[in-house]
Amino acid sequence: MLEDEFTFFKANHDSLFEKYPNKYIVIKDKAIQNSSNTFEEALDFASSKFELGTFLIQFCSAGNEGYTQTFHSRVIFA
């Protein structure tokens, strides 16, 4: 369900960052519904307007560090 919202965010990341640098944005129905300085503000807005589980709150930072993670392992594969 929220896959579409996340795909929208990734596809439009550069233009969204220009408009909402370092903001928490609420995405619903492939559209920005709100931007806030804190996660709590974004959650308060979204939960008062929409049913839980129907929106995405995403931090809009430069690059892809805001939505990717890298894990390093000490495992050696032979």
Q: Is residue 65 part of a domain?
A: no
Domain presence at residue 74:
no
The model's pLDDT over 43-75, given as tens digits with 9 standing for 90+, comes to: 999 999 999 999 999 999 988 776 776 666 777
Give the pLDDT confidence score for residue 64 in this predicted structure.
75
Please, what sign has the CA dihedral across residues 43, 46, 37, 29? positive
Tokens 């929220």 sit on residue: 2
pLDDT of residue 20: 97
Kindly state whether residue 22 falls inside one of the protein's structural domains. Answer: yes
Q: 11 lies in a domain? A: yes
Q: What is the pLDDT of residues 5-16, one digit of tens each?
A: 999 999 999 999
Whether 73 is covered by a domain: the verdict is no
> DSSP letter at 25?
E
pLDDT (0 to 100) of residue 78: 67
Residue 72 in domain? no
Residue 76: pLDDT over 80: no
> What is the tally of structural domains in the chain?
1
The rounded distance, in Å, linking the Cα atoms of 67 and 51 is 23
Q: Does 68 map to a domain? A: no
- The CA distance from 26 to 7, in Å, is 14
- Report CA Rg, the chain: 15
Q: What is the pLDDT of residue 66?
A: 67
Residue 39 in any domain: the answer is yes
Model pTM score? 0.81
Q: Which domain range does residue 44 map to?
A: 3-60
